[in-house]
Amino acid sequence: MSEEKVLIFDKVDKIIGKHEILNDVSFDLKKGEVVGIIGSNGSGKTTILRLASGLSYPSKGTITVNGKVIKPGMVGDLPSGVGILIESPTFMQHLTGFDNLHYLAKIQDKIHKEDIHTALRKVGLNPNDKKKVREYSLGMRQRLGIAQAIMENPSLILFDEPTNGLDEEGKKLFGEIINEYKKRGTGFLFVSHSREEIQKFCDRVFKIEDRTLMLHKNLRNWFIVLQNLEDVEKVLQLKPHSRISERHNGNPVIILPNEGKEEVDTFFQNLGIQYQLLKVE
Amino acid sequence: MILRLLKEDIRILMKKKSAWFALLLFLLIAGANIMFIRSEQPIANPYFEPPSAFEYFVSVQGGGSGFLMLFLPLAVTLATGDMFIRERRSSILSYSVVRANTKQYIQSRTVSLGIASFLFTFISQLLLFLGTLIFFPITQPSTDQGIVYYAANIFINNPWVYCFIIIVNSALLAFSFSCLSVIISIIFQNLYVSIMLPYVVFIGFSEILMSLPMFLGFQGALFYNLSPLSMAGDYITKSFHWIIVPIYWIFVGVISVKIATSLFNNRFEKEKLLLR
């Protein structure tokens, strides 16, 4: 993961009317990183996305995308682009999914029809489907929303409850999209009320507490490839909740449940054994 | 961006049932208007010379027995009046705004919808003109036809050019009317209000201006002549220079685009524009 920062919130406040929604919010998002924000309903999660996308004005502080301080309403001027999916996406009902995306793509004219087809296929929609959006199910509309956010390969993608209405296949495709775009260096900012969803996809998690952001431990299951069985024994002794998984290329694999990334790294560094991260769930 | 959006608007318009319905209704109403005009012609008068195709085309526009001026804005409403409000009532507007800066976007959007409306009306009027050429004699308009006072010399000497001017005038009206629809869609979020209010404003504002002579006397005639309804078709009975009508609609169109832009930016800044 590159240290290059895609998004920086610096001491951002947001006041709407007499209500303070956010207070002194600061965080950053690196290239290829997935950052999640959890919080209860009405805690200001969506407001953070609206601020990051330039659809809303910060009352105080600055927001930087790819080194440029964003001015609300001017995000489209950023050469790198920002993809958004905010709340339940609604489209022009009388048009097909492809027509909706084609219309949006023509605003910047950076991509061709084939790229829209590719984006639609990635989310499991048929690009040649003549069905109007009004006939789409909630899950199909959500998939279309994800396709519009990714189709122009923006450097920053903002997702609000992205798996809303998605079935298991849709969630699997979504996970594949995240992995693919992460490898390309795209930064993701996720907000969700679902801790499980956030923990599954995110490298770092923040929680909104009392109108500000607090770093939250992202506890996940880590699949670690070790060199030999002696190392496995050492780990099992020190981490009694860990368990053995299927071998990977002949090497033993151990699962460390409910751990944070920093804790895992520190644990193996202190132990002085060689390890390789296989996957995280 | 205007051209790209215009291409999309035309593509959408071609697939839109209400646009085809508006075109059909326009031609039917124009046809009914022509039949009405024919019903007023003297019967069994051997000296009566049947009007030319040009006279029929110009007569239906407004003034005298023509009432197309009342239907023209309604046809534009049916064809393009709902396009911006549907965008605003969906996430499309938010998705669009992150792809362009707001000023550039709303200007391009208003102008592209205006041009789409211009083209729709231009084609509708052209089809009507072709229809009159098919069904009625293509003869020189009579010098004592007594209907046309607007640029009458062009009408008599070059009726082809004259009819082209009339078509362009209607299309320019459609551009301005479409801008009015965008303005109203920025203010109101209700679909039906945003679709119908521009027509109500158009007629209502015209009626106010047209009633001013009652209060202001002779000076009020200027307001009467410059009312949108009068400039939509009634102008053919007024002895204006030919350039007055296109300039009027271009002026209204430019002002409308500016109002739409500043209103859009204002409501965006106040965070009252996009879906929450």
Mean pLDDT of chain B: 90
CA distance A193 to A160: 10
Nearest to B15 by CA among A121, A119, A120, A92: A92
Residues 47-76 of A with CB under 8 A from B: 53-57, 72-76
- Is 80 exceeded by the pLDDT of residue B151? yes
Q: Which chain A residues are closer than 8 Å to B89 by Cβ?
A: 90
Q: Which chain A residues are closer than 8 Å to B85 by Cβ?
A: none
B211/A contact by beta carbon, under 8 A: no
B269/A contact by beta carbon, under 8 A: yes
A100 contacts B92? CB cut-off 8 A: yes
- pTM value is 0.82
Residues 92-151 of A with CB under 8 A from B: 92-95, 99-100, 102-104, 106-109, 145, 148
A93 contacts B90? CB cut-off 8 A: yes
Judge if A5-216 and A220-280 fold alike in CATH terms: no
Its CATH architecture, for the domain A5-216, is 3-Layer(aba) Sandwich (3.40)
**Average pLDDT estimate for B157-176:** 94
Instruction: For residue B116, give how far its alpha carbon lies from the nearest alpha carbon of chain A (Å).
Output: 15
Nearest residue, CB atoms, A76 vs list B12, B16, B98: B98
What ipTM score was computed for the predicted complex, to two decimals? 0.82
Torsions phi, psi for A183 (to 5 deg): -60, -30
Nearest residue, CB atoms, A76 vs list B15, B87, B100: B100
Nearest to A190 by CA among A280, A41, A85, A119: A85
> Which residue of chain B comes nearest to A81, CA vs CA?
B99
**pLDDT tens column, A56-111:** 888 899 999 888 888 776 766 666 688 999 878 899 988 999 999 999 999 988 89
- Res B115: pLDDT: 96
B86 contacts A94? CB cut-off 8 A: yes
Interface probe, candidates A103, A155, A157, chain B, greatest B C-beta count within 10 A: A103
CA distance B147 to B174: 24
Pairing of the two strands A156-160 and A82-85: parallel
- Res B186: pLDDT: 94
- Res B142: pLDDT: 79
CATH class of this structure's domain A220-280: alpha beta
CA distance B24 to B26: 5
Torsions phi, psi for A249 (to 5 deg): 50, 40
**Average pLDDT estimate for A129-152:** 93
- Res B276: pLDDT: 66
**pLDDT tens column, B99-141:** 888 888 999 999 999 999 999 999 999 999 999 999 998 888 8
**Average pLDDT estimate for A175-198:** 86
**Average pLDDT estimate for A198-213:** 83
Domain ranges of chain A: 5-216, 220-280
Residues 6 or more apart from B60 whose CB is under 8 A from it?
B30, B33, B34, B37, B66, B67, B68, B128
- Is 70 exceeded by the pLDDT of residue A3? no
A90 contacts B100? CB cut-off 8 A: no
> Three-state DSSP class for B79?
helix
Residue B20: C-alpha distances to residues A92, B12, B75, B121, B207 (Å): 19, 12, 10, 12, 30
Q: Which chain B residues are closer than 8 Å to A72 by Cβ?
A: 268-269
**pLDDT tens column, A234-266:** 888 888 878 888 888 889 999 887 677 777 888
**Average pLDDT estimate for A149-168:** 90
- Res B126: pLDDT: 96
CA distance B124 to B54: 16
Write the DSSP assignment of A171-222 as a string of letters: HHHHHHHHHHHHHHT-EEEEEES-HHHHHHH-SEEEEEETTEEEEE---EEE
Residues 81-120 of B with CB under 8 A from A: 86-87, 89-92, 94-105
Q: Which chain A residues are closer than 8 Å to B116 by Cβ?
A: none
Reported as a pLDDT band with limits 50, 70 and 90, residue A223 is confident
Count of CB pairs separated by less than 8 Å, A with B? 93
Residues 6 or more apart from B256 whose CB is under 8 A from it?
B110, B176, B179, B180, B182, B183
- Res A218: pLDDT: 64
- Res A65: pLDDT: 87
**Average pLDDT estimate for B167-175:** 95
- Res A217: pLDDT: 67
Q: Taking the mean position of all CA atoms in its chain, how far away is CA B199?
A: 11
